[in-house]
Structures are given as structure tokens and as C-alpha cells.
Amino acid sequence: MHAIILAGGRGVRLRPYTTCLPKPLMPIGDEFSILDIVLTQLAQRGFDSATLAIGYLGNLIRSYVGDGSRWGMRIDYATEDMPLGTIGPVLQILDRLPDEFLVMNGDVLTDLDYADLLRQHMNSSAPLTVATYERQVKIDFGVLATKDGQVTEFTEKPTLTYRISMGVYGMSKRTLAEYPSGIPLGFDELVLDLLAKKQPPSEYDFDGYWLDIGRPDDYDRANAEFDSVRGTLLKGA
């Protein structure tokens, strides 16, 4: 099983921390970086190889990870000379990928079973499988609905519930084969294109632990909670 870890972003939302350190190397707890946790989890789930898509401060990531032997994995690299979005880095190395593979953001902290997601994708006919998570957003205002200059509905400080993408995907080479390499392509553009073609992605519904470490609030929460969730995230490590 092969994973592609997207680790080339500039981490703008986490500045000033990411001025000198790429986001995947941000520390979690006293011992680990985000990337260390991700690679440990992948190895525990049976992934034997991974490609790190690097760009901003990529030399630091390459120096830290090396060939992956510390995790018992074979790790190679794909370098972005310019930002290529979520899918663009994958298109650059499509010819050296297996038929099905995992793609994930390098700033995800979760106990998702990556291997199970990839198995579900491989056993389906879906062009893409998206791990999804329920997120609630508290609106701190009274929310109005209006029509023709009149208020038709009012809700005081509602909580809205959404299903969101976790930044982890099962992908197939055949799905991406028609897209040109070297041109930026975002996950949003890929999904909208698949929907327009009536080739809807599949959902992998997840309700465990998940944080997007690219958000400052979630990064602070991850460090505050790490001691209590370490056993869940890093079984035996």
C-alpha cells in the first residue's frame, strides 16, 4: 500500500510558527512532530511506501524523514517548484504510482484507519473516496431569512452541522489519467469535475478523532489533548 503525503504548503494560518518550520514538522506533545505521527500510523496499518510532496522548506522535511527507514517504510519525494494544489503534485508522479493509493494532507491528526479507507476504495467502483467528518459551527448572531424586504425566518445563534472533507482520500490512477501534469489542480476542482461528469465520489464516514492542525485553534487543542489521546493515535508507540 502506498500513500502520498501533501507537505508542500506554506502554513500561512499557523504563522509565525511556520516562518521557520514547515507545518508537518510542527511539534505535537514533547516527542513527536505531526509528520512523525502520520508516518508511524501508516506503518502500523501496513503501508510500506510513501511519497512526500514537498515545496516550502522541503529541505527540512527531507532531512528529517530521510529514506523512511526509521518507520520501516520506503519514502521518496516529489518537489513542487510552484504551488500545484492538492491534486497537482499527484499528477507529476502518476506514472510511478500503483493503480490505487492513498492521498492525505500532512497536517491531519486522526485515528482513522487509513488501510480500511484504501481497501473500501479498492473494492468500490468509485473514482474517488473521500473521508468525511461531522463538524458543528456555532453562529454567534441571530440568523435571518428574508424575502421581498420582509423577514421570513429567525433563529437565535444556531449551531450548524456539516459533513466536511478530512483531507484523506482513496484515489485511482485511472481517475487522474486524463488531467495534464504540471498545471495546478485542486481537490475542489476535481470533485466538481467528477460531479459534472456524473461520476460521484464515494464517502468514507468517520466519527473518531480528527483535527486539522492547519487551524491555530485545533493545533492548540491537539497539544492540550495529546497526552490523553496518545494511546489512541499511536498504538504501542
Q: What is the CATH number of the domain that holds 171?
A: 3.90.550.10
Unique residue bearing C-alpha cell 482513496: 170
CB 66 within 8 A of CB 73: no
Unique residue bearing C-alpha cell 505535537: 28
Q: Report if residue 150 sits inside a domain.
A: no
CB atoms within 10 A of CB 234: 18
Q: Report if residue 158 sits inside a domain.
A: no
Question: For residue 97, what are the domain limits?
Answer: 2-132+164-233
The cell for 233 is: 493515535
Please enumerate in sequence order all residues whose Cβ is within 8 A of that of 232, keeping only pairs 6 or more positions apart, or say none: 111, 208, 209
Q: Report if residue 153 sits inside a domain.
A: no
Give the residues across from 74 on adjacent strands: 49
Q: Please give the average per-residue pLDDT across 126-147, as a whole number.
A: 92
Q: Where are the alpha helices (DSSP H) in 139-215?
A: 173-176, 187-196
- The band of 112, judged by pLDDT with boundaries at 50, 70 and 90, is very high
Q: Where are the alpha helices (DSSP H) in the chain?
A: 34-44, 58-65, 88-92, 114-122, 173-176, 187-196, 216-233
Res 176: pLDDT: 92
Q: Report if residue 181 sits inside a domain.
A: yes
Of the listed ranges 10-14, 37-41, 117-121, 182-186, the least confidently predicted one is 10-14
Q: Report if residue 139 sits inside a domain.
A: no
Domains in the chain: how many in total?
A: 1
Task: Give CA–CA dist 230/237, Å, rounded.
Answer: 9
Q: Report if residue 172 sits inside a domain.
A: yes
Q: Is the pTM of this model over 0.75?
A: yes
Q: Report if residue 154 sits inside a domain.
A: no
Q: Report if residue 46 sits inside a domain.
A: yes
